């Protein structure tokens, strides 16, 4: 009889143990799901597009690269006519090697920095006629301004930190594709920089070297959404402070 009691007791214990293990696993599974849900919905800041595995394409990357390189090289373009004459007078006193080195330096700096600048872009939720990528700084400033008007400055600061901490998968791919292009085309960019009569860089780099027969150059003609972003922000400000609209009309 004691033997039968022990068998029943052990059987009950095994059943209870199995039930306990099942319940623990169920709780753990639910806990994991609960943890994943907020992360999925809360990680992407407002105005940022969902990841599209097809993007960026060669057109997107090359456009951003050319814009960044042009911006880096624009120093001499901002000189006045008198400043340019003074620069040429000084250049004539230098050796040919010095002039060649100084001419190459801005492009070397641009090449060194261009791919790191890709980390400053995010894909935006915008009209399809607009260029897909915009500087994360602009998205952050615009949406933080709107947040401050709709809620308060603390909410705006919190949103700004969210942008600073966010890294989009398409941004990572922009960086990787830029690195590949620079590794292939660095010498060609240096050669372009030495030409007195320079071909448009969008043609020289993008259309003639980076693009394949399957690539479209449509994105080179798309307008940036940066101005639209700021118009949206100012509309919100004017809605909250209509007295500013009267001053603007004056």
* The two three-digit tokens of residue 13, written as one number: 């214990």
* The two three-digit tokens of residue 11, written as one number: 């059987």
Residue 143 pLDDT > 80: yes
Q: How confident is the model at residue 41 (pLDDT cuts 50, 70, 90)?
A: very low
- Rounded to whole angstroms, the maximal C-alpha distance in the chain is 115
Residue 236 pLDDT > 90: no
In DSSP terms, 223 is beta-bridged to: 130
Q: Give the predicted TM-score (pTM) of the model.
A: 0.71
Query: Radius of gyration of the chain from Cα atoms?
Result: 29
- Residue with the larger pLDDT of the pair 199 and 43: 199
Q: pLDDT tens digits, residue range 163-187?
A: 999 999 999 999 999 999 999 999 9
Q: How confident is the model at residue 128 (pLDDT cuts 50, 70, 90)?
A: confident
Q: Kindly report the CA angle at 214 between 212 and 218, in degrees rounded to 5? A: 95
The whole-angstrom separation of Cα 15 and Cα 18 is 5
Q: Kindly report the CA angle at 175 between 159 and 168, in degrees rounded to 5? A: 30
Give the whole-number percent of the chain exceeding pLDDT 90: 48
Domain ranges of the chain: 49-135+168-214
**What region, left, alpha or beta, does residue 130 occupy, with left being phi > 0 and alpha being psi -120 to 50 degrees?**
beta
Q: Is 170:123 a contact under the CB 8 Å cutoff?
A: yes
Confidence at residue 32, expressed as pLDDT on a 0 to 100 scale: 47
Confidence at residue 65, expressed as pLDDT on a 0 to 100 scale: 98
What SS3 state is found at 57?
Answer: coil
Residue 235 pLDDT > 90: no
Confidence at residue 26, expressed as pLDDT on a 0 to 100 scale: 54
- Residue with the larger pLDDT of the pair 83 and 197: 197
Confidence at residue 225, expressed as pLDDT on a 0 to 100 scale: 83
Q: pLDDT tens digits, residue range 193-206?
A: 988 889 999 999 99
Confidence at residue 149, expressed as pLDDT on a 0 to 100 scale: 85
Q: What average pLDDT does range 15-35 have in this prediction?
A: 51
What backbone torsions phi and psi does residue 48 show, to the nearest 5 degrees? -95, 130
Alpha helices in the chain, H assignment, sequence order? 2-42, 58-73, 81-92, 96-117, 136-150, 153-165, 169-194, 201, 226-240, 243-249
Give the whole-number percent of the chain exceeding pLDDT 70: 68
The whole-angstrom separation of Cα 26 and Cα 13 is 20
């Amino acid at each position: 009889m004691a033997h039968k009691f022990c068998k029943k007791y052990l059987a009950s214990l095994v059943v209870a143990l199995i039930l306990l293990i099942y319940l623990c696993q169920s709780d753990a599974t639910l806990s994991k799901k609960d943890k994943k849900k907020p992360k999925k919905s809360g990680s992407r800041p407002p105005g940022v597009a969902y990841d599209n595995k097809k993007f960026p394409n060669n057109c997107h990357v090359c456009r951003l690269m050319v814009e960044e390189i042009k911006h880096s090289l624009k120093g001499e373009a901002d000189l006045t006519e008198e400043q340019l004459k003074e620069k040429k007078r000084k250049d004539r006193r230098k050796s040919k090697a010095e002039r060649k080195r100084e001419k190459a330096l801005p492009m070397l700096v641009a090449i060194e920095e261009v791919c790191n600048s890709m980390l400053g872009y995010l894909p935006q939720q915008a009209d399809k006629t607009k260029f897909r990528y915009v500087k994360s700084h602009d998205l952050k400033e615009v949406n933080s301004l709107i947040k401050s008007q709709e809620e308060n400055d603390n909410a705006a600061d919190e949103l700004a930190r969210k942008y600073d901490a966010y890294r989009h998968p398409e941004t990572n791919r922009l960086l990787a594709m830029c690195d590949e292009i620079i590794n292939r085309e660095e010498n060609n960019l240096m050669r372009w920089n030495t030409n007195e009569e320079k071909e448009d860089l969008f043609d020289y780099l993008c259309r003639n070297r980076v693009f394949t027969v399957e690539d479209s150059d449509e994105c080179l003609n798309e307008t940036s959404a940066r101005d639209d972003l700021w118009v949206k922000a100012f509309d919100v400000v004017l809605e909250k402070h209509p007295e500013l609209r009267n001053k603007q009309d004056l």
